[in-house]
Amino acid sequence: MVLGFADPFDALFRVQRALDQRLDSDWLEDATGGVGAFPPVNVFRQGNDFAAVIEMPGVSKDDLGLEVRGNAIRISGKKTIDYGGNASVHRRERVAGSFDRTITLPVQLDADRVAAEYRNGVLILSLPRAESDKRRAIKIG
Amino acid sequence: MAPAQDLEVQQKRELEKKDESTIPARVFLPNTDIFETEDALTVVMEMPGVNREHADITVEDNVLSVAGRIDFSKYEKMRPVYTEYNVGHYWRSFNLSPNSFDEHKIGAEMKDGVLTLTLPKAERLKSRRIPLR
């Protein structure tokens, strides 16, 4: 084992452990409505703001719909799989279908500044906190 | 094509290797479809977060191996508050029947985190007349 390799993998291990510790925490409000739990969502804090990282491999950008309203984000779309005409299938593990999920954050968002980036089957939503929701220091008189 | 149905979450499966890894990080198995047409075998693997530069495809001794590395550096400065899935590199291999594919013509395409490999079937060895001397 070359010692030089240890670092990047340790870093990944730390990330994996950190994600495990927050598995299905109750931070996200119960109102994760919509149909089903696809796509799976991870939510991170970045300073004052939040980011959601959502995996949906095989979903084309054109088939993906995003809406924001108040502190709720709606993610809907469909995933299609095309085997081609006369193919015989040996192994089928991927699933196709439609999805519609709304996640509600326990903070107010600045809807105008919510940004989305979809790359390599991963959707990253930048969720800036609304100015009115930010913490203010209170002066003690 | 199957009618539209509500999509369910597929839990990521971890790679189980015979040999224990020297590194602690977990590796995941990409969900895979394999189908065959007259001319080729197609292998489709889901590896969300892997870009084309970080997918590594090899065929050696009739074993097709695919490794996909994710860029997790962006996670190091983010603090998770709620998670439903974990992230990690991907690895999976399949045994191919010997000499049935043209290894040098394997096509690979990456789109939306899905890797599609096309393995063209090898031309059957033509029967050959043996010259008499």
Residue B53: strand, helix, or coil: helix
Q: Which tokens hold the place of A86? A: 């006369």
Interchain CB distance below 8 Å, A83 and B38:
no
Q: Is B58 inside a domain boundary?
A: yes
Q: Is B104 inside a domain boundary?
A: yes
Q: Is B2 inside a domain boundary?
A: no
Q: What is the structure's pLDDT at A137?
A: 81
Which domains occur in chain A, in start order? 27-83+94-132 (2.60.40.790)
Q: What is the structure's pLDDT at A36?
A: 57
Q: Is B111 inside a domain boundary?
A: yes
* Cβ-contact B36, B43 below 8 angstroms: no
Interchain CB distance below 8 Å, A20 and B86:
yes
- In this model, does residue A1 exceed pLDDT 60? no
Please give the average per-residue pLDDT across B100-112, as a whole number.
90
Residues 19-58 of A with CB under 8 A from B: 19-25, 27-28, 35-46, 50-51, 55-58
Interchain CB distance below 8 Å, A16 and B51:
no
The lowest-confidence range among A115-119, A121-125, B74-78, B105-109 is B74-78
Segment B1-10, tens digit of pLDDT: 444 567 778 8
Q: Is B125 inside a domain boundary?
A: no
CATH number, domain of B38, equals 2.60.40.790
Q: Is B22 inside a domain boundary?
A: no
- In this model, does residue A5 exceed pLDDT 60? no
Cα gap B127→B100, rounded to integer Å: 16
Shortest Cα–Cα distance, B98 to chain A (Å) = 17
Shortest Cα–Cα distance, A130 to chain B (Å) = 18
Residue B88, domain extent: 27-120
Q: How many domains does chain B have?
A: 1
Show residues of chain A in contact with B75, CB under 8 Å.
15, 18-19, 44
Write the DSSP string, chain A.
Answer: --GGGHHHHHHHHHHHHHHHHTBT-TTS-S---EESSPSPEEEEEETTEEEEEEE-TT--GGGEEEEEETTEEEEEEEE-----TTPEEEEE----EEEEEEEE-SS-B-GGG-EEEEETTEEEEEEPBPGGGS-------
Hey, how many other C-beta atoms are within 10 angstroms of the C-beta on A28? 19
Q: Which tokens hold the place of B54? A: 């970080």
Distances A59 to A3, A72, A77, B27, B103 between C-alpha atoms, Å: 39, 22, 8, 23, 29
- In this model, does residue A63 exceed pLDDT 60? yes
Q: B79: which strand partners?
A: A45
Show residues of chain A in contact with B84, CB under 8 Å.
23-24, 37, 40-42
Q: Is the peptide bond before A106 cis (omega within 30 degrees of 0)?
A: no
Residue B85: strand, helix, or coil: coil
Hey, how many other C-beta atoms are within 10 angstroms of the C-beta on B89? 20
Residues 71-100 of B with CB under 8 A from A: 72, 75-89
Interchain CB distance below 8 Å, B51 and A120:
yes
Q: What is the structure's pLDDT at B73?
A: 87
Q: How confident is the model at residue B127 (pLDDT cuts 50, 70, 90)?
A: very low
Give the mutation candidate from B7, B75, B114 for the A interface (greatest A CB count, under 10 A): B7
* Cβ-contact A95, B7 below 8 angstroms: yes
Q: Is A117 on the interface with B (CB under 8 A)?
A: no
Give the mutation candidate from A1, A2, A13, A15 for the B interface (greatest B CB count, under 10 A): A15
Q: What is the structure's pLDDT at B56?
A: 94
Segment A8-30, tens digit of pLDDT: 667 888 888 888 888 777 777 65
Q: Is B127 inside a domain boundary?
A: no
Size of interface A-B (CB pairs under 8 A): 197
Interchain CB distance below 8 Å, B48 and A120:
yes
Segment A77-121, tens digit of pLDDT: 999 998 877 888 888 999 999 999 988 888 889 989 999 999 999
Q: Is A120 exposed, middle or buried (0-12, 13-18, 19+ CB in 10 A)?
A: buried
Q: Is B68 inside a domain boundary?
A: yes
